[in-house]
Structure 1
């Protein structure tokens, strides 16, 4: 049922890339797993935004917005914002922006809550 779904394909690919990058950073001596994770999730998020912008004019299956939002929610929101500005991607679509900024606000609240 979900085998050929773009949600599954892009979601699993993102997960594999994140895990491989964490392993790579660990191999290179960056043994702080939270830092490795944050670098990895932001790198994958940035690449996904860029790739989605690249294939936007073609007949290819686009990266679902749910996948982009999931990457932002998982910690990739800084790279998502950078990619939006750099690639001018998803900046006008109101529903996407509302969801993205709700994720950012949620993350800020969570960070503040964990800090106190």
Structure 2
């Protein structure tokens, strides 16, 4: 059973893309949500050190975030949401059903979003 414990600010994709092909967030919408996990961590960048002149690897901040959104959410893949000032980009969503088979909520998996919505 979905029980929201906070409010998220959702920035649905506007349908436009940046010069880099990334979705540009649209206008802000407030939705109830439930935080399951937000675990920041530092990881090596995906850039190969073989092509780097210094042969050094860089570290970047990433996050493993899971939130629950209501059954009537407008959130989709590539949308951005904000919780307490931290911004995250949805990289996966899965519908979750109750025992009687009805759609109860969505489980959204996300990572840090570094651009300003």
Under TM normalisation by the shorter chain, which class is it? under 0.3
Q: TM-score, normalised by structure 2?
A: 0.21
Identify the structure with the greater helix proportion.
1
Q: TM-score, normalised by structure 1?
A: 0.21
Structure whose CA Rg is larger: 2
Identify the structure with the greater strand proportion.
2
